Chain A
Amino acid sequence: MSLEAAAFWGLALVLLASGLAVVLSKNLFHSVLYLALALVATAGLFLLLQAEFLAAVQILLYAGGVITIVVFAIVVTERLVGERLVQTNRGIVNGGLVSLAVLIAIIIFVTRATLPQTPPPPPADLTQAIGRDLLTRFVLPFELLAVLFLAALLGALFFARKEE
């Protein structure tokens, strides 16, 4: 087994185990920590796919930003309730059936498609290519993203403001 395959299967194991822990853990706070682990394992996959810049973005924005916000939200909603952080699942059979059906459908689709067996040689500098594409080919969505951030900022402030 090559080094790349070993790294892939190791990361896949961590990713799936932590993903299952996110949806099955009884303690909401533990769920968030397992989500952080899953996001870091995904950053490892990005490194394996030679997208170093995206791995850095993944850790900064997801593992840094999202996890912090979620922990804040848990502290706010659970402290005021004054209960333990216990959470349960409902409809496990139905939910499991639906997700299993979706999984089987996707896997049938993937196994029927003809996919490349070996990756092409990596380009010289992917980060440079991302930057160039972002400001030429995708400059309009890039600017729209700024508008979206402004709307999200104002929306979040509006929702979470103090009651008058």
Chain B
Amino acid sequence: MGLQPYLILAAVLFCIGLFGVLTRRNAIGILLGIELMLNAVNVNLVAIARYAADPAGLVFTLFTISITVAEVAVGLAIVILIFRVRRTVEADHLNLLKG
């Protein structure tokens, strides 16, 4: 098996996540799309690390997984805060900065 199927699978997964980020209305739904995109990047990193026989890619994946967990925790805290202030988590209704 070559490297190419892994990279194409990751590209498709990334674009599914991108579609979710662009089209979801709910802020939590947008965060789930971001999770999918980061996950696709992890697939790429691990596949390339395996085919280049370099554990650096695996260490990078470890970092991205850890940072994603921190990002989700802070992101959801912000979502809960927005919900307390505005009573909604629909991204379309969060237009305070609109002129």
Contacts and interface: CB of A to CB of B under 8 A. Distances in A.
A and B co-occur in one complex: yes
Interface of A: 2, 4-5, 8, 12, 15-16, 19-20, 22-23, 28, 31-32, 35, 38-39, 42, 45-46, 49-51, 53-54, 57-58, 61-62, 65-66, 69-70, 72-74, 76-77, 80-81, 87-92, 94-96, 98-100, 102-103, 106-107, 110-111, 115-120, 122-123, 126, 129-130, 133-134, 137-138, 141, 145, 148-149, 152-153, 155-160, 163
Interface residues of B, number: 69
A22 B36 contact: yes
Interface in B48-99: 49-51, 53, 55-56, 58-59, 61-63, 65-74, 76-81, 83-84, 87-89, 92
A137 B60 CA distance: 12
B59 A134 contact: yes
Contact of B58 (A42, A81, A92, A126): A126
